[in-house]
Structure 1
Amino acid sequence: MEGLDKARLLAGWLDEKQGADIIIMNVAGLSSVTDVTIVVSARGMKHAQALADAVLARASENAIEFLGMEGYQSGEWVLMDLNDVLIHIFQSESREFYNIEGMWSEAPRVATSA
């Protein structure tokens, strides 16, 4: 599955679990570690963990490669590595502070549905 198609699928799963303000950025050619970055907001620690759990479960069901995760315990900023797609799950204050969207301001935004 191509990175952008995978990202749309993952964003759909995040939306189903009420992830907020989902943004998909095409960072291919701008990043050496991934092709697509997804940023999503969670309402709190438990919600961030639930979003991560849902992505893990669905990725496993759909044979999508999962390489690792950081920040799950605190739930403030959960980083999920799905090879060519990175997912950043933030609580609102952390999302504003780290400003991933601003860091990748030159990356084209991708519609969450084709």
Structure 2
Amino acid sequence: MSPTAQRTKPANAKTLRQHVIDALEELKAKDIREIDVRGKTSIADLLVIASGTSGRHVKSIADEVVKFAKKAGVMPLGVEGEREAEWVLVDLGDVIVHVMLPRIREFYGLERLWTVGDRDTDAEAVNAG
């Protein structure tokens, strides 16, 4: 087989998102949340946040995300936090995956951080109407 035939076509953002979700579900990640950050930041289009039940579970979930991304033809730009395995970040370019222990997730509150403007807009619409 030629080197060209062995390469897989890189996944688009929608396909990559599905591979990430499949990987998270495969290893029973908890509380999976997707946050569309287009227009809020240029670092990514989508943040995916999930929890693991232990440090070992967090690391295994992150490893599975990397494995599924590679199958989709996407090489991670970086993986951080594997040693401590309390919060592992997998940067896939358009999609950034955060796998965290529940206490770390609650402490940093990424969902609140990235949706604060969305909630304000919703509250203003209720108050105006």
Q: TM-score range by the shorter chain?
A: 0.7 to 0.9
Q: Which runs of 4+ in 1 moved over 4 A?
A: none
Percent of aligned positions that are identical: 31
Cα distance, 1:4 vs structure 2: 3.6
- Give TM-score scaled by structure 2 length: 0.77
- 1: distance between equivalents of 2:36 and 2:15? 11
Q: Could you list the per-position Cα deviations for residues 63-102 of structure 1 after superposition, in whole angstroms to 9, with x for gaps in the alignment?
A: 1231001111101110110011000000000000000000
Q: 1:63 aligns to what?
A: 73
**Structure 2, unpaired ranges of 5+:** 1-10, 119-129
Structure label with greater radius of gyration: 2
Question: Does the aligned pair in 2 maintain the 1:76–1:90 contact within 8 Å?
Answer: yes
Q: Which has the higher contact order (CA 8 A, sep 6+)?
A: 1
Q: Which residue of 2 aligns with 1:81?
A: 91
1:10 to 17, 20, 23: 20
- As a proportion of its length, which structure holds more strand? 1
- Give the aligned CA root-mean-square deviation in angstroms: 1.6
Instruction: Indicate the structure with greater helix content.
Output: 2
What TM-score do the two structures reach when normalised by structure 1? Answer: 0.87
Query: Quick check: 2:19–2:72 contact (8 Å CA) kept in 1?
Result: no
